[in-house]
Amino acid sequence: MRRSPVSWIAGPGCLAMALLLSACDLGAVAPSSSPSSPTAPEATETEPPAPASPVLTQAVWNEPSNEVIASGLVDGTLDASADCVFEFGLDGRTVTRETVPEPGPSSLDCGSAYVQVDELGPGTWSVRLGYGGTYSNEEKVEVPG
């Protein structure tokens, strides 16, 4: 019986495959001489801390004392050398008050700033809190005449 050319090639290939598969018997696998180390977790990038975020918590006219009272705090990355700066602005005129922040559990407390009516004058004043070059949103306060 005459063999086809394909059987000449396939025969030895099948034999080689059978030998390889028999070596894969689970009982024939020898244990590794070195214990495998657990895969190290991938390095995770730490997010940079949030920038300082001043928050004006109050800006009100206090009739009994004839003054504007402003209060605030700072969240985020804190700069130990920075002070809180309350700015009161009207028609290009600015009055400032600086306070030394007190550390709290999760933020800095800027305390309160007080400005008498004779220093401000009547009008609708814009008030904002600054810290380390960053400012809060402005609030408007009406100072009576």
Residue 44, pLDDT score: 61
Residue 49, pLDDT score: 67
How many structural domains is the chain composed of? 1
Which secondary-structure segment (H or E) carries 18? Answer: helix 5-23
* Long-range own/partner contacts, residues 59-64 (CB < 8 A, 24 or more apart): 59/127, 59/139, 59/140, 59/141, 60/141, 61/141, 61/142, 61/143, 61/144
Residue 37, pLDDT score: 55
Residue 81, pLDDT score: 82
pTM: 0.66
Taking 70 as the pLDDT cut, the residues of the chain under it are: 1-44, 47-49
Structure tokens at 129: 């809190």
Find tokens 């400012």 and name the residue. Answer: 135
Does residue 61 lie within any of the structural domains? yes
SS3 assignment, position 86: strand
Amino acid, single-letter form, for residue 28 = A
> What's the domain range around 75?
53-143
CATH assignment at residue 132: 2.60.40.10
Does residue 106 lie within any of the structural domains? yes
Residue 105, pLDDT score: 84
Does residue 4 lie within any of the structural domains? no
Q: Are 75 and 53 in contact (CB under 8 A)?
A: yes
Q: Are 55 and 66 in contact (CB under 8 A)?
A: no
